[in-house]
Chain A
């Protein structure tokens, strides 16, 4: 179990420019949905983007503090194009 603030801090440590929105799906602190906007995703396929995020939260995933992480990963220009 881990707090939403900790999840956000871990992701920002790996992706310093990221805008991060964390949602606790079950209230149990182990199933999270996270929306991340970062320039680091530029030019990367979805799987590579998710691997970047997983690397940032590696310790929490491997200790199973986080059981499941649902990710939405976009670049600033994709967000601008969608709005």
Chain B
């Protein structure tokens, strides 16, 4: 990963309380797993930012190394790596995601 890519990711993660690296965008997710994450966050009714890795090949590769996570989507809340689609679904079903998100947005 180039230093430019790393600092770009650093900035996105730092500047957005909820940051989603995904395929496609909120309105048109290009992958079922990315769609899961969008649907969960929409149902919580919280603001979040997305980045389309299909339009940003450097970040598509870089984020995998950055997070030690080989797949897209990837979710960061309050600068902390939360996980991908599976973990978001599990946290949502357990009711833990709402709390994490509320704490992040209040900070």
Contacts and interface: CB of A to CB of B under 8 A. Distances in A.
Interface stretch (A6-14, A15-23, A36-44, A64-72): A64-72
A75 B84 CA distance: 21
Contacts of B83: 46-47, 50
B71 A69 contact: yes
Q: Is the interface of B mostly helix, strand, loop or mixed?
A: mixed
Contact of B69 (A46, A54, A68): A54
Interface residues of A, number: 13
A51 B87 CA distance: 12
Contacts of B90: 46
B82 A54 contact: no
A64 to B, nearest CB: 9
B37 to A, nearest CB: 14
Interface of B: 33, 64, 68-71, 81-84, 86-87, 90-91
